[in-house]
Amino acid sequence: MADFTVIFKSLAPLASAGFGACDASTVAEWAAAQDRFPNRDVTDLTATRQLEHWCIDQILHALGYSDLRITHTANGKPEAIENPAIHLSIAHHSTVDGCWAAVALGKVAIGVDVEAEREQLLRIAPRFLSLAEQEVVGESLAALAGAWAVKECMFKAYGPALDFRSDLQVKWRGLEHAEEVGVIGSVRGSEGHYQIVQMQTSPSEAPMWLALGPTSN
């Protein structure tokens, strides 16, 4: 069994996200034959990590980048081997049923992230939100997941030498407003527009939140 379902797609910037599920033996066969990550021994990774890489490969095929090969910098940032001028961002989040994954590509700095609604966000919120942001975002798991995903976008696009609480700011005006028109994020005072989207495979499963940016609003 091997299935990847595209749930979100953007043309400007070019990005896609979805959910993948695949049996361990099929993923292991792919890992042994793949050339997507030539500088990484995917066969040496856990089954969960192999599935994450397989999902990224599936998204790139869906976006028309069948031959794009990926390496990683010393800071863990992905790069296109044949064309380092392409800005590339990837994200993944594994669950018991499979893996959420997202990829964004652009001519300028770009970030993408996927975040689950989870109780842990209440505990770690002081680590990624300033006191002022905590008061505005509140304790909604959906809002916390969305705000965290936006900050991850900014960090992936412009990091790594950034502090989540002091260097990255989110102008939060409520989750409904964020879904309708996006969110303004600030990286050391420089503002950008970030898209936020809820993704879900079924009503019985916890929603995932995708953030993408900076984008043109």
| Same domain, yes or no: 88 and 125 | no
Q: What pLDDT score does 79 carry?
A: 96
| Same domain, yes or no: 80 and 16 | yes
| Same domain, yes or no: 210 and 176 | yes
| Same domain, yes or no: 64 and 22 | yes
Q: Is residue 206 very low, low, confident or very high in pLDDT (cuts 50, 70, 90)?
A: confident
Is the pLDDT at 217 greater than 70? The verdict is no
Beta bridge partner(s), residue 70: 80
The pair of three-digit structure tokens given for residue 96, joined into one six-digit string: 């018991």
| Same domain, yes or no: 125 and 206 | yes
Q: What pLDDT score does 203 carry?
A: 79
The Cα 176–Cα 150 span in angstroms is 15
* Rounded average pLDDT over 179-205: 92
* Rounded average pLDDT over 79-96: 94
* Rounded average pLDDT over 51-56: 98
Of residues 217 and 19, more confidently modeled: 19
* Rounded average pLDDT over 67-74: 95
Domain final residue, candidates 108, 138, 153: 108
Question: Is the peptide bond prior to 78 cis by the omega test (within 30 degrees of 0)?
Answer: no
| Same domain, yes or no: 127 and 189 | yes
Over the stretch 118-170, which tens digit does the pLDDT of each residue have?
Answer: 999 999 999 999 999 999 999 999 999 999 999 999 999 999 999 999 999 99
Q: Is residue 93 very low, low, confident or very high in pLDDT (cuts 50, 70, 90)?
A: very high
Q: How would you write the chain as a 3-class SS string?
A: CEEEEEEEEEECCEEEEEEEEECHHHHHHHHHHCCCCCCCCHHHCCHHHHHHHHHHHHHHHHCCCCCCCEEECCCCCEEECCCCCCEEEEEEEECCCCEEEEEEEECCCCEEEEEECCCHHHHHHHHHCCHHHHHHHCCCHHHHHHHHHHHHHHHHHHCCCCCCCCCEEEECCCHHHHHHHCEEEEECCEEEEEEEEEECCCCCCCCEEEEEEEECC
Q: What pLDDT score does 188 carry?
A: 96
Is the pLDDT at 207 greater than 80? The verdict is yes
| Same domain, yes or no: 134 and 171 | yes
- Which structural domain, as residue segments, surrounds residue 188? 114-215
What CATH number is given to the structural domain containing 75? 3.90.470
Domain final residue, candidates 74, 108, 142: 108
